[in-house]
């Protein structure tokens, strides 16, 4: 398919891959049965759902019975936090709004939440988590990798601390799957979203270790082991199963290539005067470039990039429209004059070196032009 534009916003959404679409197609019209029935059409659909669940479980080192399909990452995050059962939650101040705003809602109904601060690159340490856990804490939620600045958190160490202290550990792995090797060893709950990894929007899953006290999310039929009622979105579930399998299988090959593109983009953009990279240079997601330019407004840069055929974002897509400075950039202490000129490019293996060259050239021209206009 010929490209309509240079897409550099893969952390916001990714296209459904050919393999995933092919796997899904029969389940729209050929194999359309309701998985809950007893006849052969139903059994066919139920088998496809079971197969997708099995594929996901195998890809992340879980058991079949520990995978719950959801409408996406937001729902998985909200659901996971319900397992705190009213006990105190420990999280960080750079989580996605799916966690932060859920915590805010839980606080309104009386729950206590500790928001751990991060360092200048966006990291929280296992030691900080350890120090925050006392007998009132029921659950810790720390994201695997940050959606804005790509920081990869020390989740294995944090999981170990939680295990030793006997509290549940949830991680939002929405940006990690496909970019990093992900295994649920030591993790009690993990969230994933389909549209970041080549599956459709509106599908995701929550992994919850056997015995996790998950509340029923939606009441009704007996779907998702009786905890999330409603007829399954069979084509999307089939797509998610294939996408997770492919994402986990391809993680090493993709990461090497995408890291090379990312480093080239970072180096090129840092040649622009008064630019700063946000987050860690080394320990960041392979495709993430979050960069700020002083004395420009990101909205203007984004519109001009769009006019030049480049799709990027100003922070996280979900925060657009908030009019608030990014909570992540604020948390890592990015000075105000840089925050408002922040652009996030997120690359994938679909990008090319030529595209990166073009992005660097156009961004440099746009930033220079906007600064000239501002001075005039």
Cβ-based neighbour number of residue 236 at 10 Å: 26
Q: How far is CA 270 from the centre of its chain?
A: 26
Residue 318 binds ligand PLP (CB under 6 A): yes
Residues 6+ apart with CB under 8 A from 140: 89, 90, 91, 129, 133, 158, 162, 167, 168, 169, 170
Q: Does 74 bind ligand PLP (CB under 6 A)?
A: yes
Q: How far is the CB of 170 from ligand PLP (least distance, A)?
A: 12
- Angstrom distance (rounded) from CA 360 to CA 216: 49
Residue 292 · residue 342 · CB < 8 Å: yes
**Closer Cβ to ligand PLP, 98 or 334, answer by number:** 98
Listed ranges 27-35, 69-77, 224-232, 240-248: which one lies at the site for ligand PLP (CB under 6 A) = 69-77
Q: How many degrees, rounded to 5, is the angle at CA 281 between CA 276 and CA 286?
A: 115
Under rule CB under 6 A, residue 96 binds ligand PLP: yes
Nearer to ligand PLP, 96 or 344 (CB): 96
Q: What is the DSSP string of 103-159?
A: HHHHHHTT--EEEE---TTS---HHHHHHH--TTEEEEE--SB-TTT-BBP-HHHHH
The site map against ligand PLP for 18-57 (x = CB under 6 A) is: ----------------------------------------
Kindly tell me which of 98 and 291 has the beta carbon lying closer to ligand PLP: 98
- Taking CB under 6 A as the rule, which mask of x and - marks residues 150-189 in contact with ligand PLP? ----------------------x-xx--------------
Q: How far is the CB of 111 from ligand PLP (least distance, A)?
A: 20
If you search the block for the tokens 């060893």, which residue do you land on?
A: 185
Shortest distance, position 326 Cβ to ligand PLP, whole Å: 13
Active site residue 286: no
Measured from the CB of residue 148, what is the shortest distance to ligand PLP in angstroms?
8
Q: Is 292 in the site for ligand PLP (CB under 6 A)?
A: no
Number of H helices, E strands in the chain: 14, 12
How many whole angstroms separate alpha carbon 366 and alpha carbon 154? 37
* Catalytic site positions: 318
State the residues that interact with ligand PLP by CB under 6 A. 72-74, 77, 96, 98, 143, 147, 172, 174-175, 193, 204, 316, 318
């Amino acid at each position: 398919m010929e490209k309509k534009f240079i897409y550099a916003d893969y952390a916001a959404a990714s296209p459904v891959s050919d393999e995933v679409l092919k796997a899904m197609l029969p389940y729209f019209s050929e194999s359309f049965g309701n998985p809950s029935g007893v006849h052969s059409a139903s059994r066919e659909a139920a088998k496809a759902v079971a197969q997708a669940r099995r594929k996901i479980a195998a890809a992340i080192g879980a058991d079949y019975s520990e995978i719950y399909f959801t409408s996406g990452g937001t729902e998985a995050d909200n659901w996971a936090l319900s397992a705190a059962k009213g006990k105190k939650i420990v999280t960080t101040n750079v989580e996605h709004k799916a966690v932060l705003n859920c915590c805010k809602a839980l606080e309104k109904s009386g729950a206590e939440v500790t928001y751990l601060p991060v360092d200048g690159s966006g990291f929280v340490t296992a030691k900080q988590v350890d120090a925050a856990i006392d007998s009132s804490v029921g659950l810790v939620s720390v994201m695997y990798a940050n959606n804005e600045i790509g920081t990869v958190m020390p989740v294995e160490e944090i999981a170990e601390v939680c295990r030793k202290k006997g509290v549940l550990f949830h991680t939002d792995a929405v940006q990690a799957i496909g970019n990093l090797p992900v295994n649920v060893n030591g993790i009690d709950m993990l969230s994933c979203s389909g549209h970041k990894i080549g599956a459709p929007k509106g599908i995701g899953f929550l992994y919850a270790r056997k015995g996790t006290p998950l509340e029923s999310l939606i009441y009704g039929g007996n779907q998702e082991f009786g905890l999330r009622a409603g007829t399954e979105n069979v084509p999307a579930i089939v797509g998610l199963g294939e996408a997770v399998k492919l994402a986990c299988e391809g993680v090493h090959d993709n990461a090497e290539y995408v890291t090379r593109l990312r480093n080239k983009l970072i180096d090129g953009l840092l040649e622009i005067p008064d630019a700063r990279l946000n987050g860690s240079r080394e320990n960041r997601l392979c495709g993430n470039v979050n960069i700020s330019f002083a004395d420009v407004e990101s909205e203007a840069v984004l519109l001009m990039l769009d006019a030049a055929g480049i799709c990027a974002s100003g922070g996280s897509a979900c925060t657009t429209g908030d009019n608030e400075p990014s909570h992540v950039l604020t948390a890592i202490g990015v000075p105000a004059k840089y925050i408002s000129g922040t652009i996030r490019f997120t690359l994938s293996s679909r990008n090319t070196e030529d595209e990166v060259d073009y992005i660097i050239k156009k961004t440099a021209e746009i930033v220079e032009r906007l600064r000239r206009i501002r001075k005039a």
